[in-house]
Amino acid sequence: MAAEDRRDQLLELVRQQGFAALPDLATSLDVSESTVRRDLDALEKSGVAKRTHGGVFYTGPSPSLVHYQQRRTEDREKKRLIAELAATLIEDGDTVLLDGGSTTYELARRLVGRGIQVVTNSLPVANLFTQVGDHDLVFIGGYVHLRTGVSLGPYANEMLQRLNVRRSVLSVAGISARGYFNSHLLLVETERAMMEAADEVIVLADGSKFGRQSLALLCGLGEIDKLVVDHEVTEDWRSRITAANVEVLVAGSTDNG
């Protein structure tokens, strides 16, 4: 059996069970445990599984979230670099609110095991923290948008009004001179409530988001505290956002902080 086919079967076994023991996986696939370990290393790097003592947890999205999975694979290296830099902004003991963006999911993967409280409206993010580690997790309820796996709408907004977090971390679909945009009206309303609940608002965005608008305006350029971007964002855009009193941090740059 080719390695790629074997890993697909391995992932499906882990997904169906939620947690699978290493010897059971080796038996099911009729391979050695060392082969399973190598395959699990590859799955863990892709973010769909997490090794633990004696076995592995499934940490990928549910099968219904095909659109979400596709977004996660787009510009994965940029998102990884942005997430790694954003993780350095989170301090142990923080209460962190994470939205359902694919880049914030990459950040969430790097926060597993950290001594933080997590608040999220994202089913994939919540699933990640419930299956790995011992976290204080709060899930924001409401109407679930099945394409992205996030809860939003009036019930989510009402719950957010009762919370206070140290940092909210958001993803956006576009950034123009008018400000930050997302593609769903209810999502934007919920993200505004996330901003109101936070002492500090951090937005994560790669270079493809700049110079673009989407359906709904989230807020103006200067209404956030920090923007984490990749190196492809032009100097003109960095200067423009810095002039709006927002701290711009560039992933891969030696000039940050």
Instruction: Concatenate the DSSP letters of all residues of 198-238 into one string.
Output: EEEEEEE--GGGBT---SEEEE-GGGSSEEEE-TTS-HHHH
What's the pLDDT at 1?
Answer: 60
Tally of domains within the chain? 2
Give the pLDDT of residue 130. Answer: 81
Q: What is the pTM of this model?
A: 0.73
- Residue 64, pLDDT score: 47
- 136/118 Cα distance (integer angstroms): 6
Residue 109 lies in a domain: yes
Cross-sheet strand order for the sheet of 179-182? 174-176, 179-182, 216-219
My answer on whether 9 and 38 are in the same domain is yes
Tell me the C-alpha distance between 219 and 222, whole Å: 8
Does any domain span residue 193?
Answer: yes
Look at the chain and count its residues. 257
What CATH number did the domain enclosing 179 receive? 3.40.50.1360
How do beta strands 216-219 and 198-204 pair? unpaired
Residues 210 and 96 reside in one and the same domain: yes
Token pair for residue 257?
A: 């902080």
Structural domain containing residue 204: 66-250
Answer whether residue 103 is part of any domain: yes
Residue 3 is predicted with a pLDDT of 77
Which residue numbers in the chain have pLDDT < 50?
Answer: 64-68, 70, 72-73
Q: Is residue 255 situated within a structural domain?
A: no
Q: What is the CATH number of the domain that holds 52?
A: 1.10.10.10
Q: Domain boundary residue among 58, 76, 101?
A: 58
| Cβ 244 vs Cβ 221: under 8 Å | yes
CA dihedral 126, 119, 85, 58 (to 10 degrees): -10
d(CA 43, CA 148): 22
